[in-house]
Structure 1
Amino acid sequence: MNEGKDIPVILKEHEEFLLSTYKPCNEIIFKAQSTKPWESKLGGCPYLEDLKDYPLDEKGRPMMFLAQINFEEMPHLPDFPSKGLLQFYIVDDDCYGSDGGCYVRYLQQYHRDEYGFITENPYQKNYQGYEPFERSGKMQFSNREMPVGTECGKFIEHFPYNIVPEEQWNALYDLCYASGSRIGGYPHFTQIAPAYYDDGVCDVMLLQLDIEDECGIMFGDTGNCTFLIAKEELRNLDFSKVEYNWQCC
């Protein structure tokens, strides 16, 4: 089915290739409002029943809570869980954890009792670095399919810069530029695709957080972040080797 996959006339000679690259994704819409413990969210307080479950970095310091996805709140994506919570933490420093990496925690079971939760992040006011957003908020999702991103290896191989006419470049970037916050689909890298993505080692995007006004998201100078995982590890619910990367101009 090619519904919703209109290829501009100027790119018709590449239509077969472009259509073959489409992947489903859930685009994220942010609302700067309070959230319940189990809801999909940006920042704030994660679903936390016991303070001892809050992750620490290698130096024993609390990590920075970045986001939480409730899979029951979004349209299902292939290979992704259909239920449970996925929490994203990064090392708390002034470089958004670029050297210390990330911790991704999956909770297959959770409950919606309004009582017995920790409702305020006990470490947020004492973060050593800066949160890459101005306001915490709720996530909502919109499902769509998207073509290969402009920084991906298969795009670069198919469209060598020196032989693609300028008018086609403009149309390609209108169609394939993969900016925006999403789960699944293709990533956008402000500078260059990490080697592990080009090599297909981590080729599924768990989460991308990109520049956004409602919650004021921005990594560094007009930058974004990605969390990537291998498909087989995702299928096995093994989030121990997630690759975290952020880049800016």
Structure 2
Amino acid sequence: MIKYEIPEMLKDHEDLIKRTLRYSNEISFKREETNPGESKLGGCPYLKNIKDYPMDEAGEPMLFIAQINLADLENLDELPEKGLLQFYVVNEEMFGLESPVLVKYIEDFEENEEPLIRTNPYENEEYKMNLPYSHSGKMYFKTREMPMSSSLDLFHETFKNELSEVEYEKLSEDCYSCDSRIGGYPYFVQNDYIGFDESDFLLLQLDIEDECGIMFGDAGNCVFSIPKDALKNKDFSKVVYDWQCC
């Protein structure tokens, strides 16, 4: 666990800052082969039958972005204790920004991997053209305690009138919450168009990364969030997706 250390000049506001702390599982990546049930970026999702692979409204295969094995995560009580989360977007140059996305929850999955599909059945050159990463890979997680992201509208509402201008600037710099993660708070390159607040949960953020070459547009990242009440009911139809770039 990586604990958050409040800067000395902000100690007078320690209680206020601590009230915003959330746990985050920070993601690192390795270009490694993955098994069907592992947490991964791209590659082949857990798939028993090719007919189960998601299609978009036009009948074309969606881009498989990532898969999370929930058993790999720590300190994220809002999530189910077990199962897989799979993230898909429409395969086009805007990474499905204005189209429906799919977050698929598989609560029970086969431990015996022998009958499973091991290669993405649609991963040809045309499929790869719009991938927001250059290499697939395995995910690794590290738990972090993090304060509210300074890119949120909620950050401004929470701290602007409570801190001096110098203190506010210092905290804003300290709460620059880029990098890939599950849980905690998202980072928006431009603006918080989705209005992320206390009632929302960050399902996945993928940020610029060198090992697997992640990048959305020009130095951009993506965010998948969900209302906590929908997450409690395992209703992943309520997921909100956004990506932004410079």
TM-score by length of 1: 0.92
- SS of the aligned residue for 1:14 comes to helix
Report what 2:134 is aligned to.
134
Report what 2:214 is aligned to.
217
CA–CA distance in structure 2, aligned partners of residues 121 and 134 of structure 1: 15
Code of the residue aligned with 2:5 in structure 1: it is D
Worse-superposed segment, 42-51 or 118-127:
118-127
- SS of the aligned residue for 2:27 comes to strand
Could you tell me how far 1:145 is from its partner in structure 2?
1.1
- Conserved in 2, the CA contact under 8 Å of 1:32 and 1:215? yes
Report what 2:191 is aligned to.
192
CA–CA distance in structure 2, aligned partners of residues 50 and 131 of structure 1: 23
- Conserved in 1, the CA contact under 8 Å of 2:201 and 2:227? yes
Within a 5 Å distance, the mapping from 1:69-88 to structure 2 comes to 69-88=68-87
Code of the residue aligned with 1:137 in structure 2: it is G
- SS of the aligned residue for 2:80 comes to coil
CA–CA distance in structure 2, aligned partners of residues 74 and 128 of structure 1: 29
Report what 2:104 is aligned to.
105
Report what 1:55 is aligned to.
54
Could you tell me how far 1:159 is from its partner in structure 2?
3.5
- Unaligned 5+ segments in structure 2 are none
- Unaligned 5+ segments in structure 1 are none
CA–CA distance in structure 2, aligned partners of residues 68 and 191 of structure 1: 26
Superimposed CA distance per residue, residues 135-156 of structure 1 (whole angstroms, 9 cap, x where no aligned partner): 1000011011100000223311
CA–CA distance in structure 1, aligned partners of residues 241 and 187 of structure 2: 13
Superposed CA RMSD: 1.8
Q: Of 220, 226, 229, which residue of structure 2 is paired with 1:229?
A: 226
**CA 1:196/1:6 → structure 2, altered by over 3 Å: closer, same or farther?**
closer
Could you tell me how far 1:170 is from its partner in structure 2?
5.0
CA–CA distance in structure 1, aligned partners of residues 227 and 81 of structure 2: 18
CA–CA distance in structure 2, aligned partners of residues 136 and 195 of structure 1: 28
- Conserved in 1, the CA contact under 8 Å of 2:34 and 2:138? yes
CA–CA distance in structure 2, aligned partners of residues 12 and 4 of structure 1: 15
Could you tell me how far 1:128 is from its partner in structure 2?
7.1
Report what 2:8 is aligned to.
9
- Conserved in 2, the CA contact under 8 Å of 1:76 and 1:82? no
Could you tell me how far 1:108 is from its partner in structure 2?
0.3
- Conserved in 2, the CA contact under 8 Å of 1:5 and 1:19? no
**CA 1:12/1:192 → structure 2, altered by over 3 Å: closer, same or farther?**
same
Could you tell me how far 1:120 is from its partner in structure 2?
0.7
Worse-superposed segment, 132-141 or 147-156:
147-156
Superimposed CA distance per residue, residues 193-247 of structure 1 (whole angstroms, 9 cap, x where no aligned partner): 124425x66x111000001111111100010000010101111111011011000
Report % sequence identity.
49
**CA 1:93/1:216 → structure 2, altered by over 3 Å: closer, same or farther?**
same
Divergent runs of 4+, >4 A: none
- SS of the aligned residue for 1:139 comes to strand
- SS of the aligned residue for 2:196 comes to helix
Superimposed CA distance per residue, residues 5-47 of structure 1 (whole angstroms, 9 cap, x where no aligned partner): 3211111232221111000110011111110010000000000
- Conserved in 2, the CA contact under 8 Å of 1:74 and 1:140? no
Report what 2:114 is aligned to.
115
CA–CA distance in structure 2, aligned partners of residues 158 and 73 of structure 1: 32
Could you tell me how far 1:177 is from its partner in structure 2?
0.9
CA–CA distance in structure 1, aligned partners of residues 211 and 243 of structure 2: 20
- SS of the aligned residue for 1:228 comes to strand
Instruction: Report the count of equivalent residues.
Output: 243
Worse-superposed segment, 150-159 or 91-100:
150-159
